[in-house]
Amino acid sequence: MTLRPPSGRTDVIALLAEVFREQGFEGATLSAISKATGLGKGSLYHHFPGGKEEMAQAVLDEIDAWFEREVFGPLASLAPDAIDAMFDAVTDYFRSGRRVCLVGAFALSDGRARFGAKIHAYFHRWNEALAHALAARGYSPRKARVRAEEIVAGIQGGIVLARAINDPTSFDRMIARLRRRARRQTP
Amino acid sequence: MTLRPPSGRTDVIALLAEVFREQGFEGATLSAISKATGLGKGSLYHHFPGGKEEMAQAVLDEIDAWFEREVFGPLASLAPDAIDAMFDAVTDYFRSGRRVCLVGAFALSDGRARFGAKIHAYFHRWNEALAHALAARGYSPRKARVRAEEIVAGIQGGIVLARAINDPTSFDRMIARLRRRARRQTP
DNA sequence: GTCTATAGAGTGATAGAC
DNA sequence: GTCTATCACTCTATAGAC
> What digits encode the pLDDT tens for the residues B19-52?
999 999 999 999 999 999 999 999 999 999 999 9
Q: Could B155 and A150 be called an inter-chain contact, meaning their C-beta atoms sit closer than 8 Å?
A: no
Closest CA to A89 of A125, A63, A112, A111: A63
What pLDDT score does A7 carry? 58
Give residue B9's pLDDT band: very low, low, confident or very high (50, 70, 90): confident
CA distance A179 to A182: 5
What pLDDT score does B3 carry? 40
Phi, psi of B105 (to 5 degrees): -65, -40
Expressed in angstroms, the distance from the first to the final Cα of chain B is: 58
Contact A137, A185 (CB under 8 A): yes
pLDDT in tens, chain A (187 residues): 444 455 578 889 999 999 999 999 999 999 999 999 999 999 999 999 999 999 999 999 999 999 999 999 999 999 999 999 999 999 999 999 999 999 999 999 989 999 999 999 999 999 999 999 999 999 999 999 999 999 999 999 999 999 999 999 999 999 999 999 999 765 4
Under DSSP, the state recorded for B116 is H
Least CB–CB distance from B26: residue in A27, A108, A177? A27
Region B75-87 average pLDDT: 97
In this complex, is the C-beta atom of A115 within 8 Å of any C-beta atom belonging to chain B? no
- High-pLDDT (> 70) share of chain B, %: 95
Determine the distance between B46 (CA) and C3 (C1') in angstroms: 13
Burial degree of A103 (CB within 10 A; 0-12, 13-18, 19+): buried
What pLDDT score does A112 carry? 93
Q: Could A110 and B170 be called an inter-chain contact, meaning their C-beta atoms sit closer than 8 Å?
A: no
Least CB–CB distance from B156: residue in A146, A160, A166? A160
Distances (CA, A) of A174 to A159, A186, B171: 9, 19, 18
Region B87-109 average pLDDT: 98
> Taken in order A156, A161, A163, A164, is the CA torsion positive or negative?
positive
In this complex, is the C-beta atom of A63 within 8 Å of any C-beta atom belonging to chain B? no
What pLDDT score does B110 carry? 86
* Residue B27 falls in which region: left (phi positive, over 0), alpha (psi -120 to 50) or beta: alpha
Contact B161, A152 (CB under 8 A): yes
Q: Which residue is nearest to nucleotide D12 (CA to C1')?
A: B42
What pLDDT score does B185 carry? 65
> Taken in order A8, A32, B160, B24, is the CA torsion positive or negative?
negative
Chain B positions in Cβ-Cβ contact with residue A116 (cut-off 8 Å) = 166
Give residue B8's pLDDT band: very low, low, confident or very high (50, 70, 90): confident
Contact B75, B40 (CB under 8 A): no
Give residue B7's pLDDT band: very low, low, confident or very high (50, 70, 90): low
In this complex, is the C-beta atom of B174 within 8 Å of any C-beta atom belonging to chain A? yes
CA angle A65, A69, A75 (to 5 degrees): 125
pLDDT at B6 over 80: no
Least CB–CB distance from B161: residue in A23, A112, A123? A123
pLDDT at B4 over 50: no
What pLDDT score does A51 carry? 95
| Strand C contact with B38 (CB < 7 A) | yes
- The gap from C-alpha A100 to its chain's centroid, in whole angstroms, comes to 8
Instruction: Decide which of B4 and A168 is more confident.
Output: A168
In this complex, is the C-beta atom of A18 within 8 Å of any C-beta atom belonging to chain B? no
> Taken in order A10, A106, A82, A155, is the CA torsion positive or negative?
positive
Burial degree of B117 (CB within 10 A; 0-12, 13-18, 19+): exposed
A1 Cβ partners below 8 Å, 6+ apart? none
Topology of domain B9-183 in CATH is Tetracycline Repressor; domain 2 (1.10.357)
Give residue B86's pLDDT band: very low, low, confident or very high (50, 70, 90): very high
